[in-house]
């Protein structure tokens, strides 16, 4: 459970002043309780800072998130936080961005599913088939090859995963968030804003679509994300309708299924599948992929 605590920290104040000349009214540090013990709390280098013009987020981040904002997102009017600038020294990089208020998408509705599709495709269309060599795909390619060596000896899942791996070299690429989960999307003024761009970059278009779908269930079996089959279909159909340069529909569905398999295998590999939910669903999906039933719509 996330919560905030009010702090007074001269270092945080100094960093903020390197980026902005606004007056600070209040500083709240973002924390997470992960257990019942008094010490089972994580204190993040993320601070909500209230100023006369509104609240902003100051966070320690990496070069990739800075690059994504400065190269792809800033001044584009996309549904993402406004980027105000950065400060860095030899060890750390900090960014100041808009604090997007509202609820995340853990409790899905039909309207939110459609709005999320509109937001992600607005960004995807702007960078469809982008040939930018930002290095993100290379990191991703190395990672999924390691994942394949982990799963390749599973007779059915391994064979289906090899098809996923092969498709990644030809799948259309665009700007991807890289972690498009329901708690990285905020419903703000009836528009879904996509936050947390630390894992983003130019990657296959189907990855964000699949990640948004793969971990949301009616009974919240894996993550605490609710999404029913009707809402998933609404999202999938809306994304397809919005894409300006569409692949064939059967290919589109196939790409999503392959990328969903990668989501399942990721959690199997990470040993985060205590009750076997991901393995069971990876096996079912692999059988589906190998039977070419992707030609049927979701």
Please report, for the domain that includes residue 250, its CATH number: 3.90.1200.10
How many domains, in total, are found in the chain?
Answer: 2
Q: Which domain-ending residue is among 70, 98, 126? A: 98
Q: What is the pLDDT of residue 91?
A: 86
Return the H-helix or E-strand segment holding 96.
strand 93-98
Q: Which domain-ending residue is among 36, 64, 98? A: 98
Q: What is the pLDDT of residue 2?
A: 83
Lowest mean pLDDT among 90-99, 174-183, 274-283, 285-294: 285-294
Q: What is the pLDDT of residue 35?
A: 83
In the numeric block, which tokens belong to residue 216?
Answer: 């949301």
Q: Decide which of 29 and 298 is more confident.
A: 29
Q: Are residues 267 and 138 in the same domain?
A: yes
Predicted confidence band of residue 293 (pLDDT cuts 50, 70, 90): low
The mean per-residue pLDDT over the stretch 206-235 comes to 97
Q: What is the mean pLDDT of the chain?
A: 95
Q: Are residues 63 and 147 in the same domain?
A: no
The mean per-residue pLDDT over the stretch 231-239 comes to 98
Q: Are residues 251 and 171 in the same domain?
A: yes
Q: Are residues 88 and 188 in the same domain?
A: no
Residue pair 222/234 in contact by the 8 Å Cβ criterion? no
Domain housing 232: 103-295
Q: What is the pLDDT of residue 133?
A: 77
Q: Residue 297: pLDDT above 50?
A: no
Q: Are residues 69 and 155 in the same domain?
A: no
Q: Are residues 66 and 151 in the same domain?
A: no
Q: Which domain-ending residue is among 98, 123, 146? A: 98
Q: Annotate 112-171 with DSSP letters as a single string.
A: HHHHHHHHHHHHHHHTTT-----SHHHHHHHHHHHHHHHHTTSHHHHHHHHHHHHHTTTS
Q: Are residues 158 and 93 in the same domain?
A: no
Q: Are residues 72 and 162 in the same domain?
A: no
Q: Residue 298: pLDDT above 80?
A: no
Lowest mean pLDDT among 24-38, 56-70, 101-115: 24-38
Q: Are residues 13 and 111 in the same domain?
A: no
Q: Are residues 58 and 116 in the same domain?
A: no
Q: Are residues 273 and 126 in the same domain?
A: yes
Q: Residue 34: pLDDT above 90?
A: no
Residue pair 161/260 in contact by the 8 Å Cβ criterion? no
Residue pair 26/50 in contact by the 8 Å Cβ criterion? yes
Q: Percentage of residues in the chain with pLDDT exceeding 70?
A: 98
Q: Are residues 158 and 14 in the same domain?
A: no
Q: State the Cα–Cα distance between residues 211 and 124, nearest whole angstrom.
A: 15
Q: What is the CATH number of the domain that holds 24?
A: 3.30.200
> What's the burial of 36, exposed, middle or buried (CB within 10 Å: 0-12/13-18/19+)?
exposed
Q: State the Cα–Cα distance between residues 128 and 250, nearest whole angstrom.
A: 19
Q: What is the pLDDT of residue 294?
A: 52
Please give the torsion angle defined by the CA atoms of residues 58, 63, 66 and 70, in that order, rounded to the nearest 10 degrees.
160
Q: State the Cα–Cα distance between residues 200 and 64, nearest whole angstrom.
A: 7
Q: State the Cα–Cα distance between residues 286 and 272, nearest whole angstrom.
A: 19
The mean per-residue pLDDT over the stretch 25-54 comes to 92
Q: What share of the chain is helix, strand, coil (3-state, %, to 5)?
A: 45, 20, 35
Strands ordered across the beta sheet of 191-194? 103-104, 185-188, 191-194
Q: What is the pLDDT of residue 244?
A: 98
pLDDT digits (tens, 9 = 90+) for 128-181: 998 877 899 999 999 999 999 999 999 999 999 999 999 999 999 999 999 999
pLDDT digits (tens, 9 = 90+) for 238-269: 999 999 999 999 999 999 999 999 999 999 99
Residues 6+ apart with CB under 8 A from 204: 167, 168, 171, 172, 173, 176, 255, 259
């Amino acid at each position: 459970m996330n919560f905030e605590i009010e702090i007074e920290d001269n270092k945080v104040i100094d960093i903020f002043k390197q980026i902005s000349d606004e007056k600070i009214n209040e500083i709240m540090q973002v924390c997470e309780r992960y257990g019942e013990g008094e010490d089972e709390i994580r204190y993040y280098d993320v601070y909500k800072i209230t100023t006369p013009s509104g609240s902003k987020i100051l966070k320690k981040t990496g070069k990739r998130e800075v690059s994504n904002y400065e190269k792809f997102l800033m001044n584009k009017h996309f549904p993402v936080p406004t980027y105000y600038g950065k400060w860095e020294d030899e060890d750390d990089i900090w960014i100041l961005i808009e604090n997007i208020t509202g609820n995340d998408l853990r409790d899905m509705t039909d309207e939110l599913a459609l709005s999320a599709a509109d937001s992600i495709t607005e960004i995807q269309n702007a960078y469809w088939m982008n040939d930018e060599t930002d290095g993100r795909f290379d990191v991703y390619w190395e990672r999924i090859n390691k994942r394949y060596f982990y799963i390749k000896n599973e007779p059915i899942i391994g064979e289906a995963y090899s098809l996923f791996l092969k498709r990644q070299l030809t799948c259309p690429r665009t700007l991807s968030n890289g972690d498009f989960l329901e708690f990285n999307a905020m419903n703000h003024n009836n528009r879904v804003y996509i936050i947390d761009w630390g894992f983003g970059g130019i990657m296959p278009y189907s990855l964000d679509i699949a990640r948004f779908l793969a971990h949301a269930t009616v009974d919240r079996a894996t993550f605490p994300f609710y999404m029913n089959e009707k809402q998933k279909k609404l999202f999938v159909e809306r994304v397809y309708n919005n894409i300006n340069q569409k692949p064939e529909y059967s290919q589109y569905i196939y790409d999503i299924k392959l990328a969903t398999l990668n989501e399942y295998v990721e959690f199997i590999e990470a040993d985060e599948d205590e009750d076997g939910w991901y393995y069971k669903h990876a096996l079912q999906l692999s059988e589906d992929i190998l039977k070419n039933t992707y030609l049927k719509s979701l």
